[in-house]
Chains A and B, each alone.
Chain A
């Protein structure tokens, strides 16, 4: 199925989770939170075909 992560298209297996989507995008799951439709969702939530999600960066400052 197709999902959109931070505006980019990714092809992932059916019933993939947020974890899987982050893995596909080579993003360490420890470094981000994920929002769908503006709301936080847990990393083990299943996604559906066409879902659009975006990351909130955990690391900042310095």
Chain B
């Protein structure tokens, strides 16, 4: 028997999404509008953008960064700014090369300048080579540090005044929990502050749940590369993500509450003083930056 029963959005249209925590249903139009409103509100509240900014948008080809690029492009029609899509190519064959194809097609249609920065050119390593030489290596650590360094450099070289990244609400909740698990108060303090040695990183999607970003991509036909990194198994963030999803399913609102708790904390009185790395000149919290420290480890 065909089911004709549907659940309605408050506007009367058929709902496509339930925000469990609030028990509110959204149709595709209202969910899209709500997502765009949240994106703009976060930018405005955090004074993230100014007129005529040059914004480097970090794009991996995954759903977060592709939605971010789409939203930034849409916003640029209201707020004049120059957009440059920047992609870090970590050197993971069959993964990053395929996601870059998705980006290329998108930026070509949208008329956005796109630049690719390979690990190999900058660090003389690829993640594939690291894993090949030592299959037990924690490649996510190397990848994360090198990617952050290179994204900042890419943004600076592109003359960007801001570097936009696609971190969502789930990523933020995971970071808070991971810092608690590590007892890392310094990094916790840095979550809310940006070093002046870095091109200012902005996270306009930090208040949007991951699930709603995917819904937005599906509703608006935004293409994205939907494959998990082959090296992302056995990584702490993945485990935390699983725990948080289990908790969220059982206790809706858990992720938002973790973020809310963190943001309500008074400024933590522990702060690292950023300096320039004595080797490469990139921002560092110690004499030698983490990227140079890891490169040294690889050479040895």
A43 touches B20 (CB 8 A): yes
Bound CA span A58–B114, Å? 26
A40 touches B7 (CB 8 A): no
Residues of A with C-beta under 8 A to B246: 28, 30
- A21 to chain B minimum Cβ distance, whole angstroms, is 13
Report A12-53 residues with CB < 8 Å from chain B CB: 28-31, 33, 35, 39-51
State which of A31, A41, A46, A56 has its C-beta within 8 Å of the C-beta of B245: A31
Residues of A with C-beta under 8 A to B16: 39-42
* A contact set with B: CB distance below 8 Å: 28-31, 33, 35, 39-51, 56-62
B25 touches A57 (CB 8 A): no
Q: Chain B: how many interface residues by the 8 Å CB criterion?
A: 39
B229 interfacial contact with A, CB 8 Å:
yes
Q: A45-B6, A45-B15, A56-B218 are in contact. List 19 more A-B contacts (CB 8 A).
A: A28-B245, A29-B249, A30-B245, A31-B245, A33-B218, A35-B218, A40-B17, A40-B215, A40-B219, A41-B15, A42-B17, A46-B3, A46-B5, A48-B2, A48-B3, A58-B211, A61-B229, A62-B140, A62-B232
10 tightest Cβ-Cβ pairs between the two chains A and B: A62-B229, A62-B232, A48-B3, A61-B62, A42-B18, A40-B16, A30-B245, A30-B248, A42-B15, A30-B249
Which residue of chain B has its CB nearest to the CB of A18? B18
- B147 to chain A minimum Cβ distance, whole angstroms, is 12
Residues of B with C-beta under 8 A to A43: 18, 20
17 A-B contact pairs sorted by A residue (CB < 8 Å): A30-B248, A33-B214, A40-B17, A41-B16, A44-B18, A45-B5, A45-B15, A50-B1, A57-B214, A59-B228, A59-B241, A60-B62, A60-B224, A60-B226, A61-B60, A62-B229, A62-B231
